């Protein structure tokens, strides 16, 4: 994507050149500093649920980049130093598994997909799914992305004082992923799916703060039950419909790639596994794009000079054409606006926590097996040590001639073997959709509107649905 400035190499040789095992400089059995926990530390949970990032940032300022939090029966270490995060997730990744509670919660919707699997099962799934998400194969999806954008923008108004842009981008993101996965455009029940994704995310995030969940058949969990059922009907329905079509007539999409695995090895890839991967691809595939473009549209509206530069670049590069894969490297400034949006508003602002399966030495501390490690990306992205004026929208941070960003300080898709499988597809999709939006529209902040407040429910979204002033550009 143009000269989008990486802070990690495009293919990460996880063991090549890795440093020798770090040495402990603190006595064994001691922990990094952290807030006093009292008898159980359970008093931290309501604070974390209400304002996770404010709580974590307060601890980081008070205790440093390694903070020990005791919440009985667990010991958790919060890591916010970029070098230590990379050391943990890259050099010592084989000492870690994902936190069981998070996986339990995610599995309620995602089943046993690549997102929720560990060990040999995860490696098998990841290896099989990697090829279509590599940078070059992703280019083949650009025409479908552009076609979806044309169809959507044809339905948008030429002017609106309070256009529900968050909902519109969410519907567009769903349309794109449905075309890529199922060769099927968005249907009339898209609004139901949008509400279901939101309800499942809110319910899942709330359950993360408890050691166990009440059964979903409890009366007060009706909204969650309905949400999961809606998503199951959508994804499972596409899988079942495809199976009723002769294999020779299957279109070349992601579902066909998955079903080819099923046909070749039904024991390893039963239809339930195909459904689970489709669910993860649908949820992660549209949510990252929709959330990021929502925040990007706000950044464009709130920073008209940056919007004008992006407009000028898109006009000069595309000359009114539909963007192709070959155009993406030339949309350098647009790419930087998206990177800066991902820095300010990472779609997944906290990585899934890890559990150590054996002792880990990090930052001079020898931490025992079963320690939980949390990596809040948003705190690193907003750290003035790495990003001066961290809350300002400054796309020039990512220019090729800008000061170097410390490796690991910016990683909106994670790092190490668990780096987001769809990162290249997400970046290409966001660039195409943003470019086509800028070809057609100017966006502005409605009079008297306060900046949207982010809220964390698995992903980062505005607390109230975002609306912006929309005006068509002359074409």
Q: What is the pLDDT of residues 90-133, one digit of tens each?
A: 999 999 999 888 888 888 888 888 888 998 998 999 998 888 88
Buried b (16+ CB within 10 A) or exposed e, 45-71: eeebeeebbebbbebbeebebbbbbbb
- Per the CB < 8 A criterion, the answer to whether 93 and 418 are in contact is yes
Q: Which single residue is written with the structure tokens 């499988």?
A: 421
User: 130 with 277: CB under 8 angstroms?
Assistant: no
Q: With 0-12 CB in 10 A as exposed, 13-18 as middle and 19+ as buried, what is 260?
A: middle
Angle at alpha carbon of residue 18, lines to 16 and 19, rounded to 5°? 155
Angle at CA of residue 187, ends 420 and 159, nearest 5°: 90
- For residue 287, the model assigns a pLDDT of 86
Q: Of 189, 173, 195, whose CA–CA distance to 282 is shortest? A: 173
End-to-end CA, the chain: 25
For the chain, which residues score pLDDT lower than 70?
1-22, 24, 185-191, 201-205, 208-215, 217, 220
Q: Report how far residue 239's alpha carbon sits from residue 279's, in angstroms, rounded to the nearest whole number.
A: 11
- The SS3 assignment for 247 reads helix
- CA 79, CA 32: separation in Å to the nearest integer? 11
The residue whose two tokens read 């990094």 is: 32
CB of 423 within 8 A of CB of 431?
Answer: no
For residue 471, the surrounding DSSP H or E stretch is strand 468-472
Q: Two tokens at 141?
A: 């999806």
- CB atoms < 10 A from the CB of 201, how many? 19
- Indicate the CATH number of 44-472 among 1.10.630.10, 3.10.20.30, 2.130.10.10, 3.40.50.150: 1.10.630.10
Query: Greatest CA separation found in the chain?
Result: 68
Q: Which element (helix H / strand E) includes 381?
A: helix 377-381
CA distances from 167 to 65, 163, 198, 279, 427 (A): 37, 9, 11, 20, 20
The first and second tokens of residue 262, run together, are 């099923």
pTM, entire model: 0.89
From its phi and psi, is residue 389 left (phi > 0), alpha (psi between -120 and 50) or beta? left
Q: How many CA atoms lie within 13 A of 385 on its CB side?
A: 12
Query: H/E element holding 469?
Result: strand 468-472
What values do phi and psi take at 444, rounded to 5? -145, 165
Tell me what pLDDT residue 2 has. 45
Bridge partners (DSSP) of residue 374 are 78
Beta-carbon contacts of residue 351 (< 8 Å; ≥ 6 apart): 89, 374, 375, 376, 377, 414
Q: Which two tokens stand for residue 399?
A: 């220019």
Residue 351 corresponds to which tokens in the numbers above?
Answer: 């990585």
User: Residue 29 gets which letter from DSSP?
Assistant: T
Helix (H, G, I), strand (E, B) or coil at 169: helix
| Cα–Cα distances in angstroms (integers) from residue 453 to residues 199, 298, 384, in the given order | 19, 11, 20
């Amino acid at each position: 994507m143009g000269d989008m400035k990486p802070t990690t190499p495009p293919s990460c040789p996880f063991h090549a050149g890795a440093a020798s095992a770090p040495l402990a400089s603190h006595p064994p059995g001691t922990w990094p500093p952290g807030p006093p926990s009292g008898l159980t530390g359970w008093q931290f949970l309501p604070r974390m649920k209400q304002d996770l990032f404010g709580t974590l940032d307060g601890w980081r300022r008070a205790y440093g980049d390694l903070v020990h939090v005791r919440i009985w029966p667990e010991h958790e270490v919060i890591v916010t130093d970029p070098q230590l995060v990379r050391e943990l997730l890259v050099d010592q990744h084989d000492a870690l598994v994902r936190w069981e509670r998070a996986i339990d919660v995610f599995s309620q919707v995602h089943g046993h997909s690549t997102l929720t699997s560990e060990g040999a099962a995860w490696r098998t799934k990841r290896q099989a799914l990697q090829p279509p998400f590599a940078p070059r194969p992703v280019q083949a999806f650009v025409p479908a992305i552009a076609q979806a954008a044309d169809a959507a923008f044809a339905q948008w108004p030429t002017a609106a004082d309070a256009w529900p842009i968050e909902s519109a981008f969410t519907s567009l993101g769903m349309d794109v992923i449905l075309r890529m996965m199922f060769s099927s455009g968005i249907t009339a029940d898209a609004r139901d799916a949008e509400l279901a994704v939101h309800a499942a995310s809110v319910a899942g995030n709330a359950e993360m703060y408890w050691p166990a969940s009440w059964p979903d058949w409890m009366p007060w969990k009706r909204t969650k039950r309905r949400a999961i059922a809606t998503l199951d009907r959508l994804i499972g329905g596409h899988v079942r419909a495809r199976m009723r079509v002769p294999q020779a007539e299957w279109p070349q999409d992601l579902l066909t790639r998955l079903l080819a695995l099923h046909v070749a090895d039904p024991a390893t890839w039963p239809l339930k596994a195909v459904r689970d991967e489709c669910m993860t691809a649908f949820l992660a595939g549209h949510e990252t794009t929709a959330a990021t473009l929502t925040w990007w549209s706000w950044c464009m509206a709130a920073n008209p000079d940056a919007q004008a530069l992006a407009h000028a670049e898109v006009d000069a590069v595309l000359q009114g054409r539909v963007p192709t894969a070959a155009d993406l490297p030339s949309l350098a400034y647009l790419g930087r606006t998206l990177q800066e949006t991902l820095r300010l508003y990472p779609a997944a602002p906290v990585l899934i926590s890890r559990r150590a399966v054996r002792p880990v030495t990090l930052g001079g501390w020898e931490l025992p097996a079963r320690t939980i490690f949390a990596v809040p990306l948003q705190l690193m992205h907003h750290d003035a040590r790495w990003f001066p004026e961290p809350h300002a929208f400054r796309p020039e941070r990512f220019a090729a001639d800008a000061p170097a960003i410390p490796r690991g300080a910016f990683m909106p898709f994670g790092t190490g073997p668990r780096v987001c499988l769809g990162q290249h597809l997400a970046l290409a999709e966001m660039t195409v959709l943003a470019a086509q939006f800028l070809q057609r529209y100017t966006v502005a902040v409605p009079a008297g509107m306060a900046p949207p407040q982010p809220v964390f429910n698995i992903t980062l979204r505005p607390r109230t649905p975002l609306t912006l002033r929309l005006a068509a550009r002359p074409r």
